[in-house]
Structure 1
Amino acid sequence: MTTTAHLLLADAGEAADLSGFLVRLLRFDRAASVRLQAVASVVEGEGVLAVFGRLPLGGSGALAVRTARLAEFGGPEDLTVSAGRLLDAVDDDANTVALPAPVTGPAWAGLLPPRTGWQLLAEPPAFEVFPEVMAAVREFRERSEAVPEHHRTRSVLDALADEIWSRPLATVPELPLRAAHAAYVMGFLKPAVPLTVHRAGAWLRLSAPTGSIAVRGVAAPGAGLGLSPLR
């Protein structure tokens, strides 16, 4: 496999965490792509790697973002790659990532959240956000199971999912429930973690210690996926 660079991650266990991030993405889209950006950090000689992946949660979806410190920075990188090939290229033991050859990126990869200009909007308590997400997950399951099997088409489930995940989060009405749900399925949202919500233009970002979810505006109804993992 042709690679463009080998990246050494600064913190022990970061490679394993990145593998977990990619595994979760691939559960929902076996053909998922991710966009990678490696940039210089404020510490001389080090860098930061940001990995962006899209979760199918409505018309505009949600972007899951994971960052990792680089022990060595050989120069900027910006490319879109297969999530599956990137997973194969992560060496958990050596704590390194070999960048696969780039692929033609999906449309979402050309429109990423800004790096700067974020303003703090809220600090919602996870102990309130978590049960709200769990209640919505139960509602989706119960209502989808109540649909007669011969009517339980993808479009019907998509419409139901979009109805539920487009609702405003009770603690931060500006943020759609979709963002908190995406944080949950990516393993970012847990009952006791600190959360922040930031805004930059049309973008909103829900951040936890292990990753962030970014959404742009309010997704249009009538499209998307009920986030049922591929098996």
Structure 2
Amino acid sequence: MTTLRLADPGEAADLASFLSRLLRYDRAAAVRLQAAPAAAAEGGVLAVFGRLPLGGSGVVAVRTARLGEQRTTPLDATVSAGQLLEALDEQAAALGVPPMVTGPAWTGMLPPRSGWRPLGALPGAPVVAAVAGAVAEFRTRSEAMPVEDRTRAVLDALADEIWSRPVDTAARLPLRAVHAAQVLGFLRPGAELSVFQAGGWLRLSCPHGSVALRRTAAPGSGLGLTPLS
């Protein structure tokens, strides 16, 4: 098993938190790992891509971790998120790379690495408040329904209606992206967020990670996850 040395235990703890949150929503989640050879002596960066099941196009999350050693060969592997978490030693800041798995379709269609242009900045506090308001609205409207009408299809349609709304009219970033960033622990109250676009992709960049989704996804495609606090 290939072992990666992370820069410090803090990097390992942050990565463990990301994987744990991802597995909360998809126990069979796979992640794609990418690390390029580092030109600098201090080491390189490991990028971990995961997908939250938030509709037909989904939301791709990106968490990076600083490596504590210089790589001479590139790494590009799709592995089980659960096995990766089990192979992570936080105290030793070491990450074992488990055997590769046959990746789901999304792992072959990652957000572009370059070509991103800024669309604007979003203040963190109002964004967090918007997510809280959306959660409250979902609960209020769903609880007002007769019990016999609260089918999965009806609840998913309601959630899709709410989370497809733009949190920012200029960037047209849907609340779905902000919700994904929140449940993965990327949002911090008071932190400024940045929105970027590259082709049909939108990216929300947060201090602790980023999420990307296809802007061209049609509303009503089905939200596979109902709002949670």
Tell me the TM-score normalized by structure 2. Answer: 0.92
Cα distance between partner residues in 2 of 1:74 and 1:154: 49
Q: Among residues 155, 158, 161, which one is paired with 1:157 in the alignment? A: 155
Tell me the amino acid that sits aligned with residue 65 of structure 2: A
Tell me the amino acid that sits aligned with residue 224 of structure 2: L
Partner in structure 1 of residue 224 of structure 2: 225
Cα contact 1:80–1:109 (8 A) shared by 2: yes
Give identity over the alignment, percent: 59
Partner in structure 2 of residue 212 of structure 1: 210
**Shift, 1:171, TM fit:** 5.8
In structure 2, relative to structure 1, the CA distance for the partners of 1:228 and 1:130 (3 Å cut) is closer
Is 1:25 the counterpart of 2:10? The answer is no
Q: Among residues 57, 60, 63, which one is paired with 2:60 in the alignment? A: 63
In structure 2, relative to structure 1, the CA distance for the partners of 1:149 and 1:124 (3 Å cut) is same
**Shift, 1:121, TM fit:** 1.3
Any gaps of 5 or more consecutive residues in structure 2? none
Is 1:91 the counterpart of 2:89? The answer is yes
Cα distance between partner residues in 2 of 1:34 and 1:148: 39
Question: How do 1:147-186 and structure 2 match up within 5 A?
Answer: 147-170=145-168, 172-186=170-184
**Shift, 1:188, TM fit:** 1.0
Q: Among residues 37, 40, 54, which one is paired with 2:37 in the alignment? A: 40
Q: Among residues 138, 141, 155, which one is paired with 1:140 in the alignment? A: 138
Cα contact 1:64–1:212 (8 A) shared by 2: yes
Cα contact 1:124–1:172 (8 A) shared by 2: no
Matched position secondary structure for 2:192: coil
Any gaps of 5 or more consecutive residues in structure 1? none
Cα distance between partner residues in 2 of 1:50 and 1:56: 20
Matched position secondary structure for 2:47: strand
Matched position secondary structure for 1:195: strand
Matched position secondary structure for 2:202: strand
Paired residues, what number?
A: 226
Q: Deviations over 1:38-85 (max 9, x none)?
A: 123452462211111111122211111100111221421111111111
Q: Deviations over 1:72-125 (max 9, x none)?
A: 214211111111111101100001110000111111111001111111111111
Cα distance between partner residues in 2 of 1:184 and 1:172: 21
RMSD value, Cα? 1.7
Cα distance between partner residues in 2 of 1:185 and 1:18: 14
**Shift, 1:19, TM fit:** 0.6
Tell me the TM-score normalized by structure 1. Answer: 0.91
Tell me the amino acid that sits aligned with residue 18 of structure 1: L
In structure 2, relative to structure 1, the CA distance for the partners of 1:124 and 1:49 (3 Å cut) is same
